[in-house]
Amino acid sequence: MSIHVVLHEPEIPQNTGNIARTCAATGAVLHLIEPLGFSLEDRYLRRAGLDYWPMVDLRLHSSWDAFLEEERPSSLFLLSTRGTRSYHTCSFPDETYLVFGKETAGLPPRILEAFPDRVVRIPMRAGARSLNLSNAVAILVYEALRVQGFPGLV
Protein backbone atom coordinates (compact mmCIF):
# COMPACT_ATOMS: atom_id res chain seq x y z
CA MET A 1 0.00 0.00 0.00
CA SER A 2 1.25 3.43 -0.69
CA ILE A 3 0.12 7.01 -0.72
CA HIS A 4 1.74 9.40 -3.15
CA VAL A 5 1.64 13.16 -2.63
CA VAL A 6 2.07 15.04 -5.89
CA LEU A 7 2.83 18.77 -5.81
CA HIS A 8 2.38 20.44 -9.19
CA GLU A 9 4.74 23.42 -9.41
CA PRO A 10 4.90 24.27 -5.69
CA GLU A 11 6.02 27.81 -4.93
CA ILE A 12 6.63 28.14 -1.18
CA PRO A 13 9.57 26.21 0.29
CA GLN A 14 8.18 26.15 3.83
CA ASN A 15 4.99 24.43 2.64
CA THR A 16 6.96 21.81 0.74
CA GLY A 17 9.21 21.27 3.77
CA ASN A 18 6.17 20.74 6.00
CA ILE A 19 4.67 18.35 3.45
CA ALA A 20 7.95 16.43 3.30
CA ARG A 21 7.76 16.02 7.07
CA THR A 22 4.19 14.64 6.77
CA CYS A 23 5.40 12.25 4.07
CA ALA A 24 8.29 11.11 6.25
CA ALA A 25 6.00 10.48 9.22
CA THR A 26 3.48 8.51 7.16
CA GLY A 27 5.64 6.78 4.57
CA ALA A 28 3.98 8.66 1.71
CA VAL A 29 6.03 9.21 -1.44
CA LEU A 30 6.57 12.88 -2.35
CA HIS A 31 6.53 13.88 -6.03
CA LEU A 32 7.56 17.40 -7.07
CA ILE A 33 6.65 18.52 -10.58
CA GLU A 34 8.80 21.30 -12.02
CA PRO A 35 9.17 24.16 -12.31
CA LEU A 36 9.55 24.71 -8.58
CA GLY A 37 9.32 28.16 -7.05
CA PHE A 38 12.49 27.48 -5.03
CA SER A 39 15.69 25.48 -5.05
CA LEU A 40 15.79 22.09 -3.36
CA GLU A 41 18.77 23.50 -1.48
CA ASP A 42 16.64 26.36 -0.08
CA ARG A 43 17.32 26.83 3.64
CA TYR A 44 13.62 27.41 4.38
CA LEU A 45 12.71 24.15 2.68
CA ARG A 46 15.35 22.27 4.65
CA ARG A 47 14.43 23.98 7.92
CA ALA A 48 10.72 23.18 7.56
CA GLY A 49 11.55 19.53 6.86
CA LEU A 50 13.95 19.41 9.80
CA ASP A 51 15.91 16.17 10.02
CA TYR A 52 13.17 14.18 8.27
CA TRP A 53 14.56 14.57 4.74
CA PRO A 54 16.48 11.24 4.79
CA MET A 55 13.16 9.48 5.50
CA VAL A 56 11.43 11.00 2.45
CA ASP A 57 11.06 9.09 -0.81
CA LEU A 58 11.39 12.19 -3.03
CA ARG A 59 10.81 11.99 -6.77
CA LEU A 60 11.36 14.95 -9.08
CA HIS A 61 9.57 15.20 -12.44
CA SER A 62 10.32 17.72 -15.17
CA SER A 63 6.65 18.20 -16.14
CA TRP A 64 3.12 16.86 -15.63
CA ASP A 65 3.45 14.75 -18.77
CA ALA A 66 6.77 13.35 -17.56
CA PHE A 67 5.14 12.48 -14.23
CA LEU A 68 2.31 10.61 -15.97
CA GLU A 69 4.77 8.74 -18.19
CA GLU A 70 7.22 7.87 -15.39
CA GLU A 71 4.68 6.90 -12.73
CA ARG A 72 1.67 5.69 -14.74
CA PRO A 73 -0.63 6.39 -11.78
CA SER A 74 -3.66 4.13 -11.59
CA SER A 75 -5.66 6.14 -9.05
CA LEU A 76 -5.47 9.93 -9.11
CA PHE A 77 -7.33 12.31 -6.82
CA LEU A 78 -7.01 15.95 -7.87
CA LEU A 79 -7.60 18.43 -5.06
CA SER A 80 -9.28 21.65 -6.06
CA THR A 81 -11.63 24.23 -4.62
CA ARG A 82 -13.43 23.81 -7.97
CA GLY A 83 -14.29 20.21 -7.15
CA THR A 84 -17.90 19.31 -6.45
CA ARG A 85 -17.28 16.05 -4.58
CA SER A 86 -15.99 16.00 -1.01
CA TYR A 87 -12.90 13.94 -0.24
CA HIS A 88 -14.74 12.05 2.51
CA THR A 89 -16.85 10.23 -0.10
CA CYS A 90 -13.79 8.70 -1.76
CA SER A 91 -12.44 5.18 -1.49
CA PHE A 92 -8.67 5.36 -1.55
CA PRO A 93 -7.15 2.23 -3.09
CA ASP A 94 -3.78 0.77 -2.17
CA GLU A 95 -1.92 2.90 -4.71
CA THR A 96 -3.36 6.42 -4.29
CA TYR A 97 -1.94 9.58 -5.86
CA LEU A 98 -3.11 12.83 -4.23
CA VAL A 99 -2.41 15.74 -6.58
CA PHE A 100 -2.20 19.34 -5.38
CA GLY A 101 -1.62 22.55 -7.35
CA LYS A 102 0.58 25.50 -6.62
CA GLU A 103 -0.32 27.82 -3.78
CA THR A 104 -1.33 30.84 -5.87
CA ALA A 105 -3.34 29.17 -8.63
CA GLY A 106 -4.13 25.55 -7.82
CA LEU A 107 -4.10 22.95 -10.57
CA PRO A 108 -4.27 24.20 -14.16
CA PRO A 109 -7.57 23.73 -16.03
CA ARG A 110 -5.97 21.32 -18.54
CA ILE A 111 -5.20 18.84 -15.75
CA LEU A 112 -8.61 19.21 -14.09
CA GLU A 113 -10.39 18.83 -17.43
CA ALA A 114 -8.41 15.69 -18.28
CA PHE A 115 -9.70 13.91 -15.15
CA PRO A 116 -13.10 15.50 -14.33
CA ASP A 117 -14.33 12.51 -12.31
CA ARG A 118 -11.20 12.60 -10.11
CA VAL A 119 -11.54 16.19 -8.85
CA VAL A 120 -12.38 16.42 -5.13
CA ARG A 121 -12.51 19.19 -2.57
CA ILE A 122 -12.13 19.82 1.13
CA PRO A 123 -15.36 21.33 2.49
CA MET A 124 -14.99 24.91 3.75
CA ARG A 125 -17.19 27.83 4.72
CA ALA A 126 -18.56 29.99 1.93
CA GLY A 127 -16.19 32.84 1.21
CA ALA A 128 -13.06 30.98 2.36
CA ARG A 129 -10.70 30.83 -0.60
CA SER A 130 -8.57 27.83 0.36
CA LEU A 131 -6.57 26.13 3.08
CA ASN A 132 -2.82 26.30 3.41
CA LEU A 133 -1.29 23.71 1.07
CA SER A 134 0.55 21.79 3.78
CA ASN A 135 -2.64 21.59 5.87
CA ALA A 136 -4.66 20.35 2.90
CA VAL A 137 -2.06 17.67 2.18
CA ALA A 138 -2.09 16.50 5.81
CA ILE A 139 -5.89 16.23 5.82
CA LEU A 140 -5.94 14.11 2.66
CA VAL A 141 -2.98 11.92 3.52
CA TYR A 142 -4.44 10.99 6.88
CA GLU A 143 -7.91 10.42 5.42
CA ALA A 144 -6.49 8.08 2.76
CA LEU A 145 -4.48 6.24 5.42
CA ARG A 146 -7.54 6.01 7.69
CA VAL A 147 -9.58 4.46 4.88
CA GLN A 148 -6.75 2.00 4.28
CA GLY A 149 -6.51 1.11 8.00
CA PHE A 150 -3.27 3.05 8.68
CA PRO A 151 -1.01 0.38 7.17
CA GLY A 152 2.48 0.30 8.66
CA LEU A 153 1.78 3.05 11.20
CA VAL A 154 1.84 2.69 14.97
Residues annotated within the binding site for S-adenosyl-L-methionine are 79, 101, 122, 130
Q: How far apart are CA 154 and CA 16, in angstroms?
A: 24
Question: Could you give phi then psi for residue 38, rounded to 5 degrees?
Answer: -160, 170
**CB of 135 closer than 8 Å to CB of 103:** no
Which residues of 34-102 form beta strands (DSSP E)?
57-61, 76-79, 85-86, 95-100
Residue stretches of the annotated binding site? 79, 101, 122, 130
**CA-based max dimension of the chain:** 40
Q: How far apart are CA 120 and CA 87, in angstroms?
A: 6
